């Protein structure tokens, strides 16, 4: 019997997961949260408590609420998480055979929400009603525990739909490039059409997904200490392994929170922790603003945003450096002020889609070297 037919009969997950034909390893669960379900989805109401005999449900349904949503189909309703946080026990639990899974998330109505699973962040700051994204996650204890959590204080955090697809029987992620950074690097939603973009969002266009998956953990306004201490670096350290790569880029916001000496040591600490896991670190400097032209129409931002400390740190710790600051300035000088301005948002700092694509192409070219 196929998975879809079993779902249509509302047979508990545990009844068919344990008895899968060895030649039928494909597992694909589709959950529609809220009051009703679209065809092809399994309905999950806020009141559904996890039961081992069913194999899915909320750990603490008293902290869940059914709500409407502005989307269509599976996105027309949702559940709201009334308590949250990466360590919260208020999770949606799904029994799964151990292995590697791809999890696709569709939010309900929410301005900014992060997704957590297994006690750490998985996707950062999804923005806008009905936002979608996906991530890989290894299951090693027979159960996925997932929730949506705070991306912006005081807002509702809602989940409309969830699709879980088994990729392989191995319980570890594919080779991965993890990206840290700020608002010039992070994802913007909808990922495929947003006007403003971070270069990390565009990097998959230039690197084969057969070699690496890319996890962009950057967030707007972030700085080195915040990334290390507030959960994003913890997520990376939970999964990073030999053969993976960690791109470390900060500096734009750091002078507000750390001295340059402190910045350098925080960055050094992250480098050493990643090296201890057997993964590679690549340091990246921040690009300048569209307006960083001198009277001779030469673009330069070499003295900005703790760049000199990043360059020195790469030499001291013997890690590769992508000096995006200098490389992007060379390109901006070549195309001139007017063309450069067209690659940025109106604030002259944040790249638009075309600008992010160009920066990503530079980073990818250097990574391949």
What residues does 93 pair with on adjacent strands?
57, 145
**154 Cβ neighbours under 8 A, 6+ residues apart:** none
Q: Is the CB of residue 126 less than 8 Å from the CB of residue 102?
A: no
Mean pLDDT of 282-287: 98
Cβ–Cβ under 8 Å, residues 219 and 123: no
**In the structure, what pLDDT confidence band is assigned to residue 21 with cuts at 50, 70 and 90?**
very low
18 pLDDT band, cuts 50/70/90, is: very low
The pLDDT tens digits for 30-50 are 999 999 999 999 999 999 999
Look at residue 25 in the predicted model and tell me its pLDDT.
57
pLDDT band at residue 1 under the 50/70/90 scheme: very low
The reported pLDDT for the residue numbered 249 is 98
19, 31, 145, 226, 269 from 3: Cα distances, Å = 11, 13, 21, 43, 47
Distance CA 183, CA 121 (A): 18
Q: With 70 as the cut, is the pLDDT of residue 6 above it?
A: no
User: Taking all residues of the chain, what is their mean pLDDT, rounded to a whole number?
Assistant: 92
Residues 343 and 360 sit within 8 Å (Cβ to Cβ): no
Q: How confident is the model at residue 155 (pLDDT cuts 50, 70, 90)?
A: confident
> Does 141 have pLDDT greater than 80?
yes
Q: Say how far apart CA 239 and CA 273 lie, in whole Å.
A: 13
pLDDT digits (tens, 9 = 90+) for 178-216: 999 999 999 999 999 999 999 999 999 999 878 899 999
| Of 19-28, 189-198, 246-255, 359-368, minimum mean pLDDT range | 19-28
Strands (E), the chain: 28-33, 42-44, 56-58, 64-68, 77-81, 92-95, 99-107, 112-117, 120-127, 132-139, 143-150, 158-168, 176-179, 213-216, 245-248, 280-284, 321-322
Lowest mean pLDDT among 209-223, 252-266, 336-350: 209-223
Predicted pLDDT at 2: 34
Check whether 287 has a pLDDT greater than 70: yes
Domains of the chain: 3-168 (2.60.120.430), 176-368 (3.40.50.1110)
Q: Provide the pLDDT confidence category of residue 150 given band limits of 50, 70 and 90.
A: confident
Quick one: which of 194, 221, 240 has its CA closest to 356?
Answer: 194
What confidence tier does 152 reach under pLDDT thresholds 50, 70, 90?
A: low
Alpha-carbon span 137 to 125, nearest angstrom: 18
Length of the chain, please? Answer: 369
Q: What is the mean pLDDT of residues 104-120?
A: 96
* DSSP labels, 288-351: --TT-B-TTS-B--TTSTTHHHHHHHHHHHT--EE-HHHHHHHHHHHH-HHHHHTTB-TTSSSB
pLDDT value at position 90? 96
Tokens 């694909």 appear where? Answer: 28
Is pLDDT above 60 for 253?
yes
What would the mean pLDDT of 240-269 be, rounded to a whole number?
98
Percent of the chain with pLDDT over 70: 92
Report pLDDT for 285: 98
Task: List active site positions.
Answer: 183, 347, 350
Pairing of strands 245-248, 176-179: parallel
Backbone angles phi, psi at 319, to 5 degrees: -120, 150
Q: What is the pTM of this model?
A: 0.91
Determine which of 52-66, 196-210, 223-237 has the lowest per-residue pLDDT on average. Answer: 196-210
> Looking at residue 27, what is its pLDDT?
86
Average pLDDT over residues 109-129: 95
């Amino acid at each position: 019997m196929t998975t879809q037919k079993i779902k249509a009969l509302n047979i508990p997950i545990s009844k068919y997961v344990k008895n899968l034909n060895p030649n039928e390893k494909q597992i694909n669960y589709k959950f529609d949260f809220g009051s009703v379900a679209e065809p092809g989805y399994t309905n999950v109401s806020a009141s559904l408590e996890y039961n081992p005999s069913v194999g899915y449900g909320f750990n603490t349904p008293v902290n869940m609420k059914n709500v409407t949503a502005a989307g269509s189909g599976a996105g027309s309703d949702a559940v709201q998480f009334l308590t949250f946080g990466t360590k919260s026990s208020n999770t949606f639990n799904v029994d799964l055979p151990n292995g590697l899974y791809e999890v696709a998330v569709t939010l309900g109505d929410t301005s900014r929400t992060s997704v957590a699973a297994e006690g750490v962040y998985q996707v950062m700051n999804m923005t806008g009603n009905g936002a979608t994204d996906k991530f890989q996650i290894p299951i090693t204890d027979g159960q996925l525990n997932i929730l949506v959590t705070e991306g912006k204080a005081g807002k509702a955090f809602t989940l409309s739909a969830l699709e879980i697809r088994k990729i392989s029987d191995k319980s570890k992620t594919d080779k991965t490039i993890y990206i840290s950074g700020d608002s010039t690097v992070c994802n913007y939603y909808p990922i495929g059409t947003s006007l403003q973009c971070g270069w990390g969002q565009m990097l998959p266009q230039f690197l084969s997904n057969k070699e690496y998956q890319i996890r962009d953990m950057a967030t707007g306004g972030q700085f080195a200490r915040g990334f290390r201490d507030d959960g994003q670096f913890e997520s990376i350290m939970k999964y990073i392994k030999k053969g993976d790569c960690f791109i470390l880029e900060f500096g734009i916001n750091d002078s507000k929170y750390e001295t340059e000496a402190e910045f350098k040591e925080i960055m050094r600490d992250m480098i050493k922790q990643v090296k201890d896991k057997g993964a590679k670190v690549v340091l990246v400097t921040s690009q300048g603003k569209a307006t960083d032209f001198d009277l001779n129409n030469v673009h330069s931002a070499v003295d900005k945003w703790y760049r000199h400390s990043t360059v020195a740190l790469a030499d001291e710790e013997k890690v590769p450096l992508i000096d995006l600051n200098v490389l992007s300035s060379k390109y901006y000088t070549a195309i001139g002020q007017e063309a450069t301005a067209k690659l940025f948002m109106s604030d002259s700092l944040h790249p638009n889609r075309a600008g992010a694509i160009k920066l990503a192409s530079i980073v990818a070219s250097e990574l391949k070297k």
